[in-house]
Amino acid sequence: MKDYCLRATAANGHIRAFAATTRHLADEAAKIHGTTPVASAALGRLLTATAIMGLMAGNDDDLITVVIKGDGPIGGALATSDGLGRVRGYVHNPKGDIAARPDGKLNVGGAIGAGHITVIKDLGLKEPYVGTLALVSGEVAEDVAGYFAFSEQMPSIVSLGVLVERDHSIKQAGGFLLQLMPGFDEALIDVLEAKMANFPAITVLLEQGKTPEDVLDMLLSDFGYEIAERSPLEFYCNCDRGRVTGALVAMGAQELGQIIKEDGKAEVSCHFCNKRYVFERDELTEILENSM
Ligand SMILES: [Zn+2]
């Protein structure tokens, strides 16, 4: 099953819903960054939420960035997504680790620790929108739900999950998000909360072979729903030599001159995809001359 996300509306437009399967992109991210299983789970959850939020923004070139910073062993993670389901991200300390929880589950909340979630929405306006909130639990789903409830006044149910194999590959990953739209009937909250109380984890459903279509049907069949859109999702990094050159220029002439003098070349790795860009002396000298 390729990675994709469905968008649906229900209850006469008072509920909007997304359900996604993200195993491939979570696996690619884990392989690129060589993450520990708990870091893979944190990153996979954040990539899934960010991909959904990118689709939610509405326009192809909208850019959503979600930053989680915590005092736990992985220190947090960052993911960014456009409106086309192209998402990328990294963990601050990919080798960070922590013992599993007593129930045997990966302790994502402990790995992230206490801190903040920041959402940056670049919707092509003059200034990006930035909202920051204290983390609820560091488990990512609750933190994203908290962000929507408090920063955007949108009551939301968020479920995210990543199942990591013994060989550290990603066996299942995905998530769903339900949001109550303005003008909703208060009674909907109780009905949804009752439904969620016994709702299986997303990874359990995916392990059973359920698709995002099945998950939406389980969630929304009582409310009369319609699937509006199906979007492919992928791990995609748009770094290239030109952007890295821009980053070198931004370092300033003095520092660039020092690199040329001392090292004779520069090696820059992309945070998101770990691609390495090597600049030899001649090229660096040219960049330096052009920047002055
Ligand atoms: Zn890259």
pLDDT digits (tens, 9 = 90+) for 36-84: 999 999 999 999 999 999 999 878 889 999 999 999 999 999 999 999 9
Q: Which residues contact 68 (CB under 8 A, 6 or more apart)?
A: 42, 46, 76, 77, 78, 112, 115, 116, 117, 118, 135, 138, 140, 143
How many angstroms is it from 72 CA to the middle of ligand 1? Answer: 26
User: How many other β-carbons are positioned within 10 Å of the β-carbon of residue 58?
Assistant: 9
The CA 63 to ligand 1 mean position distance, Å, reads 16
CA 275 to ligand 1 centroid distance, Å: 6
**Rg of the chain taking only CA atoms, in angstroms:** 21
By the CB criterion, residues less than 5 angstroms from ion ligand 1 are 237, 239, 270, 272-273, 275
| Ligand 1 center to 90 CA (angstroms) | 11
- Neighbouring CB atoms inside 10 A of 137's CB total 14
User: Domain 241-291 belongs to what topology?
Assistant: CBS domain Like (3.90.1280)
Q: Band the pLDDT of 290: cuts 50, 70, 90.
A: confident
- Tell me what pLDDT residue 291 has: 82
Alpha-carbon separation of residue 276 from 107, 113, 244, 246 (angstroms): 32, 31, 10, 15
Is residue 86 a contact partner of residue 234, using CB atoms and an 8 Å limit? yes
Report the pLDDT value the prediction gives residue 251, as an integer from 0 to 100: 87
Distance CA 125, CA 238 (A): 21
Distance, in Å, from the CA atom of 212 to the CA atom of 21, rounded to the nearest integer, reads: 7
Q: How many CB atoms lie within 10 A of CB 36?
A: 23
CA of 242 to the centre of ligand 1 (A): 12
Tens of pLDDT, residue by residue over 187-237, are 998 999 999 999 999 999 999 999 999 999 999 999 999 999 999 999 999
pLDDT at 106: 96
For residue 53, report the distance from its CA to the centre of ligand 1, in Å: 21
pLDDT at 158 over 90: yes
Spacing, Cα 161 to ligand 1 middle (Å)? 25
Q: Which fold has domain 4-235?
A: Hsp33 domain (3.55.30)
Cα 14 to middle of ligand 1, angstroms = 38
Answer for the pair 256, 274: CB distance below 8 angstroms, yes or no: no
C-alpha of residue 237 to centroid of ligand 1, in Å: 5
Per the listing, tokens 């491939």 go with 24
CA of 224 to the centre of ligand 1 (A): 42
Examine the pLDDT at 185 and tell me if it is beyond 90: no
173 C-alpha to center of ligand 1: Å?
A: 22
Q: What is the pLDDT of residues 96-148, one digit of tens each?
A: 999 999 999 999 999 999 999 999 999 888 889 999 999 999 999 999 999 99
In the chain, residues under CATH classification 3.55.30.10 are: 4-235
Torsion angle of C-alpha atoms 178, 8, 11, 53, degrees rounded to 10: 30
Please give the distance, rounded to the nearest whole angstrom, from the Cα atom of residue 247 to the centre of ligand 1. 13
In the DSSP assignment, the letter for residue 99 is: P
- Separation of 7 CA from ligand 1 center, angstroms? 28
- Write down the pLDDT at residue 57: 87
Distance 19 CA to ligand 1 centre (A): 27
CA of 89 to the centre of ligand 1 (A): 9
CA of 274 to the centre of ligand 1 (A): 6
Distance 234 CA to ligand 1 centre (A): 14
Query: What residues does CATH 3.90.1280.10 cover in the chain?
Result: 241-291
- Give residue 151 CA to ligand 1 midpoint distance, Å: 30
